[in-house]
Amino acid sequence: MAGLLSFAAVSPDTKKVGIQELPPFHDKLPLHESRIASEDLTVSGDLPGLPAKAVRFVSYPDLLRLPQVNFKVTDDPNFKEATEIGGVYLEEVLRALGISEEGTLIAAICDDKYEAHYPVAYRAAHHPILVLQINGKPLSQRSRTGDGGTYGPYLISHASFTPRFRVLSYAEEAQIPNGVLELRFSKEHEVFEAIHPRGPSAGGSSQRLGYTIARENCFRCHNSGDYGGNKSGRPWSSLARLAQTNPEDFARYIKDPHSVNRFAQMPGFPEYDEVTLSALTAYFQTFASGSSSQ
């Protein structure tokens, strides 16, 4: 379960980032069948006029021709200090591709197979930004804090972030991935159906609460079929088996992964209390008899 409880705030002295002025588009973004440059953004999924699960590429210069927004963010943990970002709202990317806002979920797929998810309600509340420049320069020219890598080819941030809700010990988290390679556009109800609680206990209160937390958190690194992240290498069915056969270890792994596996790369969630851990366990147990392909 990847992700930190993190908030990006706009500084009071917000100022514009110098982004190259290019003629705006009056029609849809041009899509290319093959990659032209390393910084091309991959787009896939439900693309108008193309076969299902089509894959196309959008050039960086063309993204710069979309309406740009500019903010100075001060509390995005991708950055160790106040940082000027410039880019385009994900809503604007939808418009430029001719994709309907209604019912569309955007998944940002990263170089480490992590996925961030932007359903309709999240976009309406938080207006995530596909970042094209940091302090006036392309992401490929900006070193990432901590490991010396780069942020690119793309990352997603916000002008500001305030959680909309809390579920037990979980507060809504900002979806702020870096190393974004691809945006996938899917029908929201189909994506979330893949992880909806199953079986006769699916309607229980604990199961519903656990579902909300898992959808917001676990789904970034663990997949169910075609949907969800693959960073962990452990699909939904694997989590379900552990929750069913050893619920104590399942709860301990969430709270403190290294107490179960000293090689674990997943961050722990020490703030999760027993009620929260029980809700997650009950939710995943509804999948215990599911297909191993999930």
* C-alpha distances out from residue 186 to 84, 118, 123, 274, Å: 31, 11, 14, 34
Domain match, 108 and 24 both:
yes
CATH of the domain at 201: 2.60.40.420
pLDDT at 179: 93
List the CATH number of the domain containing 17: 3.90.420
Q: Could you tell me if 5 and 34 lie in one domain?
A: yes
- Whether residues 65 and 117 share a domain: the answer is yes
Q: How far apart are the first and last CA of the chain?
A: 17
9 plus 153 within the same structural domain = yes
2 vs 135, 141, 142, 243, 248, CA distance in Å? 27, 26, 24, 18, 20
- Residue 282 · residue 204 · CB < 8 Å: yes
Q: Are residues 217 and 104 in the same domain?
A: no
> Which segments of the chain have a pLDDT < 50?
1-20, 148, 290-294
Indicate whether 32 and 91 sit together in one domain.
yes
**Are 158 and 24 members of one domain?**
yes
DSSP category for residue 144: P
pLDDT of residue 3: 39
Q: Which of 172, 187, 202 is the last residue of a domain?
A: 187
In the chain, how many domains are there? 2
CA distances to 68, 142, 155 from 98, rounded to whole Å, are 18, 31, 22
User: Quick check: helix, strand or coil at residue 157?
Assistant: strand
Q: Give the distance, in angstroms, between the CA of residue 69 and the centroid of all CA atoms in the same chain.
A: 20
Domain span at residue 212 reads: 194-294
Q: What is the pLDDT of residue 144?
A: 59
Are 29 and 151 found together in one domain? yes
Which pLDDT score is estimated for 264? Answer: 85
118-131 residue pLDDT tens:
999 999 999 999 99
Same domain, 167 and 239: no
pLDDT of residue 8: 39
What is the b/e burial string over 80-119, where b = at least 16 CB atoms within 10 angstroms of the residue's CB?
A: eeebbbbbbbbbbbbbbbebeeeebbbbbbbeeebbbbbb
Do both 162 and 41 map to the same domain? yes
